[in-house]
């Protein structure tokens, strides 16, 4: 028996919500797992990348053994029911650009978990799946919207439990996702953030995270333009993204642009707008990045309200 799961891309942080907020996007990976019947065949992991995706250097570095994130997720699910995975074939159809801040690793973890869960008759409920996905990923900001869809805020509590709630994204807020042609590993992007931050910056982000929740829940355009400001991660990461400062500055003065944020650890940028010509956004971003010899895949998208889906033909 084999099972396939289609999982959306995700964008984490949304400005001030570092490691707390995330939303799902309509770009997908499909993860298929199959328990083979040939004794001793071991683990076979295949990664099929979208040939249209610019830059896939990180694919060659992805483990094809027990260190693969999909296998780690499957192993965790099996162990939760007192079993060990043996002969497995895992296929990862990759449409989500890798190392761009779009939750590609979270999608693989979630897809593998949900597929393994179906193979074994759904022993794990939603809460357990989110807990296991977070254990493999390290934090829940990407895995929760990958499972639930929509916009989600989440927190790992001191007792290890995960608190999460889904919000409804305003239907008339557009997302223009700007994916540059270079990759940026999460480890490098995290390394530039100080281990300690000023109390004033922490308080600033607390206030703006509260604004963010209220702005989304009430579709408050004006509040959203303030809510997206951040002092914890973007001021440090901006130096890793050529042209980001210029793009943010150029768009900030435009009426109808609610904000421009880094998607996850970057380098993808996400522009949130309402009633603004999104083709003009694309043109502005393209023009600025061309000045830095960067090309980009720029797409205007809506939030994907549906999370991971088990495919019927899996």
Shared domain for 188 and 254, answered yes or no, is yes
Q: Give me the CATH number covering residue 257.
A: 3.30.70.890
Q: Do both 81 and 183 map to the same domain? A: no
Tokens matching residue 158: 């001191």
**273 in the same domain as 223:** yes
Q: Which pLDDT belongs to residue 159?
A: 93
**Arithmetic mean of pLDDT, 64-74:** 87
User: Looking at residues 284-309, what average pLDDT do you find?
Assistant: 96
Alpha helices in 11-125 (DSSP H): 69-80, 104-119
Residues 87 and 178 both lie in one domain: no
Contact predicate 289/295, CB 8 Å: yes
260 sits in which H/E element: strand 257-262
H-type alpha helices, the chain? 69-80, 104-119, 126-137, 143-148, 186-191, 199-218, 221-227, 234-237, 244-252, 278-290
Phi and psi at residue 218, to the nearest 5° = -105, 5
pLDDT tens-digit map of 180-223: 999 888 899 999 999 999 999 999 999 999 999 999 999 999 99
Number of domains in the chain: 2
Cα(43)–Cα(47) distance, integer angstroms: 13
| Digit-coded pLDDT (tens) for 233-279 | 999 999 999 999 999 999 988 889 999 999 999 999 999 999 989 99
Residue 57 tokens read as: 């250097």
- Position 49 scores a pLDDT of 79
Whether residue 12 contacts residue 225, with contact meaning beta carbons closer than 8 Å, is answered with no
What pLDDT sits at residue 40?
A: 60
Question: Are 152 and 91 in the same domain?
Answer: yes
Q: What is the pLDDT of residue 223?
A: 97
d(CA 179, CA 99): 10
- CA dist., res. 60 & res. 247, Å (int): 32
Whether residues 161 and 19 share a domain: the answer is yes
Residue 55: predicted pLDDT: 45
What percent of the chain is predicted at pLDDT more than 70?
Answer: 94
| Each residue's pLDDT tens digit, 20-60 | 999 999 999 999 999 876 666 578 888 887 755 544 556 66
Q: 202 and 77, same structural domain?
A: no
> What is the value of pTM for the model shown?
0.92
The whole domain housing 99 covers 2-168+303-310
For residues 232 and 202, is the Cβ–Cβ distance under 8 A? yes
Asked whether residue 15 falls in the same domain as residue 158, the answer is yes
- What CATH number corresponds to the domain at position 124? 3.30.230.10
241 with 266, same domain: the answer is: yes
Can you give the pLDDT at residue 45?
A: 84
Q: How far apart are CA 14 and CA 272, in angstroms?
A: 10
Q: Flag whether pLDDT at 65 surpasses 90.
A: no
Q: Are 130 and 46 in a shared domain?
A: yes
Q: Domain check: are 164 and 181 in the same one?
A: no
- Residue 54's pLDDT is what? 42
Whether the per-residue pLDDT at 91 is higher than 60: the answer is yes
* Per-position b or e across 176-207, b if 16+ CB within 10 A of its CB: bbbbbbbbbeeeebeeeeeeebeeeeeebbee
* 212 & 139 share domain: no
């Amino acid at each position: 028996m084999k099972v396939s799961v289609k999982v959306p891309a995700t964008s984490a942080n949304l400005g001030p919500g570092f490691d707390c907020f995330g939303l799902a996007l309509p770009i997908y990976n499909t993860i298929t797992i199959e328990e083979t019947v040939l004794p001793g065949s071991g683990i076979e992991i295949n990664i099929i990348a979208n040939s249209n995706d610019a830059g896939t250097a990180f694919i060659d570095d992805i483990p094809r053994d027990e260190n693969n994130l999909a296998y780690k997720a499957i192993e965790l699910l099996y162990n939760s029911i007192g079993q060990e995975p043996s002969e497995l074939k895992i296929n990862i159809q990759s449409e989500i650009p890798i190392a761009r801040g779009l939750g590609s690793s979270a999608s693989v973890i979630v897809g593998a978990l949900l597929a393994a869960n179906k193979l074994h008759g759904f022993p794990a409920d939603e809460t357990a799946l989110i807990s296991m996905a977070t254990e493999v990923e390290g934090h829940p900001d990407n895995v929760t919207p990958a499972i639930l869809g929509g916009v989600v805020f989440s927190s790992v509590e001191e007792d290890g439990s995960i608190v999460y709630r889904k919000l409804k994204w305003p239907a008339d807020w557009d997302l223009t996702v700007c994916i540059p042609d270079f990759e940026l590993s999460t480890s490098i992007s995290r390394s530039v953030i100080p281990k300690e931050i000023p109390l004033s910056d922490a308080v600033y982000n607390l206030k703006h995270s509260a604004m963010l929740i209220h702005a989304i829940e009430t579709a408050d355009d004006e509040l959203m333009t303030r809510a997206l400001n951040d002092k914890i991660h973007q001021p440090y990461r901006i130096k890793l993204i050529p042209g980001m400062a210029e793009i943010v500055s150029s768009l900030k003065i435009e009426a109808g642009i609610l904000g421009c944020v880094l998607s996850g650890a970057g380098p993808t940028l996400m522009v949130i707008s309402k009633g603004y010509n999104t083709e003009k956004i694309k043109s502005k971003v393209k023009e600025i990045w061309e000045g830095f010899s960067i090309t980009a895949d720029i797409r205007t998208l809506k939030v994907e309200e549906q999370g991971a889906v088990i495919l019927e033909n899996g």
